[in-house]
Amino acid sequence: MFKKENSGSCAAIVGANWGDEGKGRMVDLLAADYDVVVRYQGGGNAGHTVVNDYGTFALHLLPSGIFNDGVLNILGNGVALNAEQLFTEIDTIAQQGVSVSPENLVVSERASLLLPWHWELDTLEEMRLADKQYGSTRQGIAPFYSDKFQKKTILAGELRDPERLRQHVADLLEWKNLTLTKVYGAPEAKLDDVMEWIDTWAMRLVPYLADTADVLSQAKKDGKRILFEAQLGALRDIDFGIHPFTTSSNTIAAYAPVGAGLPSLQLDRVTAVVKAYSTCVGAGPFTCEWFGEKADKLRDAGGEYGATTGRPRRVGPLDLVATRYGIQMQGATEIALTKMDVLSDMDEIPVCIAYDTPSGKTESFPFPAELDAAKPVEIKLPGWKSDISGCRTWDELPEQARAYVEFIEESIGCHIRYVSVGAQREAYIVR
């Protein structure tokens, strides 16, 4: 087990790239060293695959610390709170022996509810865009955050007053039906249907609701260690990602205290997760993308299929240009390198070290509109051609595998502290 972090420390685990880096695996691993684990942004549009003693899980909304006894898990105000998805997830993992109750899960009363009309609008808009789609998972995320910034959402705390809640829903529905019917030609949403959904799913939230500012403030005073868990990666951030092919929230570590509920908290550790090769789910520029047989081989070796959608991830070699940028945006203090074992069959391992652009060769990540014209500049490093999944110390790794890690570390300018060599919880190396 890891050396205990300083009492009262605040840390974040975030993605350096397009998401799908293996953050859930790292949170599940590190959560045992923390007292509180917080999801601070995003919704059920992405998943974290976790493998532990209970089994294999694809989490979408639940913090990955939910598997650790004694850990308090929090869904912050920055989360897109789909109650149906959350409780379906809770009911599913309960069948495998994982208990979730108000004792180990708290939901911010300031979190906004993602309602059925959000995922309907998401689907309708992607259909309207046709071949210009953004690659939405159709979980209602973009319409939800749009409504949030228009101040037209229901806060979870409103569930405590059903009479007032019904009137608020009716007011929103009058406005929302204008979009459904006039813009998309879809049928009106009915108040009774929406309220039935709220009664069935959202009302189950009430025992879990709390002021997370108070919860986190008390945890900090008590010297508790707090871990913030992000969804997706830096290149999907609404402000700093590959616009417009981003998510609709801030995926960067700097947003963690805000989306958790206590903006005054300060991070003292940021672990950015980087996969040993590149993967991407969804549309948008992906400069180092592979196609054909070599892509299929890497995808199958790594099991690269979305935890939420099941759709094949786009794959390619490690992109150091994008990774350096992601680490800068995340303010990373250390790196967790995942899925090293997937590369074990390769004679040579390609790495993207720069981009060729109309303006010339660059090692800096371009402005989003310029990415389509960028081409990868690759080099090849020697492979290690041996099974490393049983390695548990740095010296046990083959020389070529150590050289690969050291090359990445030097290229990105950030210490690689963890090297993951398998899906199992214990399959990692600490440097």
260, 43 in Cβ contact below 8 A?
Answer: no
Determine whether the annotation assigns residue 137 to a binding site: yes
Residue 97 burial (CB count, 10 A): 9
Which has the closest alpha carbon to 142: 109, 118, 167, 171?
A: 118
Determine whether the annotation assigns residue 402 to a binding site: no
Determine whether the annotation assigns residue 308 to a binding site: yes
Determine whether the annotation assigns residue 247 to a binding site: yes
34, 225 in Cβ contact below 8 A?
Answer: yes
Determine whether the annotation assigns residue 47 to a binding site: yes
Residue 385 burial (CB count, 10 A): 13
User: 64-96 burial, b for 16+ CB within 10 Å, e for fewer?
Assistant: bbbbbeebbbbbbbbbbbbbbbbbebbeebeee
Residue 166 burial (CB count, 10 A): 15
Determine whether the annotation assigns residue 128 to a binding site: no
Determine whether the annotation assigns residue 48 to a binding site: yes
Distance between CA 102 and CA 217 in Å, rounded? 18
Determine whether the annotation assigns residue 395 to a binding site: no
Burial class (CB in 10 A: 0-12, 13-18, 19+), 206: middle
Determine whether the annotation assigns residue 166 to a binding site: no
**Amino acid, res. 122:** D
Phi, psi of 50 (to 5 degrees): -125, 130
Determine whether the annotation assigns residue 329 to a binding site: no
Determine whether the annotation assigns residue 279 to a binding site: no
The reply to whether 48 belongs to the active site is yes
Determine whether the annotation assigns residue 315 to a binding site: no
Determine whether the annotation assigns residue 310 to a binding site: yes
Determine whether the annotation assigns residue 324 to a binding site: no
Determine whether the annotation assigns residue 307 to a binding site: yes
Determine whether the annotation assigns residue 376 to a binding site: no
Which residue among the candidates 20, 28, 35, 237 is catalytic per the annotation?
20
Determine whether the annotation assigns residue 188 to a binding site: no
The reply to whether 268 belongs to the active site is no
Distance between CA 170 and CA 177 in Å, rounded? 10
DSSP state of 382: E
Determine whether the annotation assigns residue 19 to a binding site: yes
Which residue among the candidates 48, 118, 122, 147 is catalytic per the annotation?
48
Determine whether the annotation assigns residue 126 to a binding site: no
Cα dist. 250→30, 262, 311 in Å?
23, 16, 24
Determine whether the annotation assigns residue 185 to a binding site: no
Determine whether the annotation assigns residue 73 to a binding site: no
Rg of the Cα trace of the chain? 22
Which has the closest alpha carbon to 35: 254, 220, 283, 264?
A: 220
Describe the crossing of helices 116-129 and 191-200 by its angle, rounded to 10 degrees: 120
329, 240 in Cβ contact below 8 A?
Answer: yes
Determine whether the annotation assigns residue 217 to a binding site: no
What element of type H or E holds 36? strand 36-39
Determine whether the annotation assigns residue 309 to a binding site: yes
User: 297-335 burial, b for 16+ CB within 10 Å, e for fewer?
Assistant: ebbebbebebbbbeeebbbbbbbbbbbbbbbbbbebbbb
Q: Which residues are annotated as a binding site for IMP?
A: 20-23, 45-48, 137, 151, 247, 311
Q: Which residues are annotated as a binding site for Mg(2+)?
A: 20, 47
Q: Which residues are annotated as a binding site for GTP?
A: 19-25, 47-49, 313, 339-341, 420-422
Q: Which residues are annotated as a binding site for substrate?
A: 307-313
Q: Which residues are annotated as a binding site?
A: 19-25, 45-49, 137, 151, 247, 307-313, 339-341, 420-422
Residues designated catalytic: 20, 48
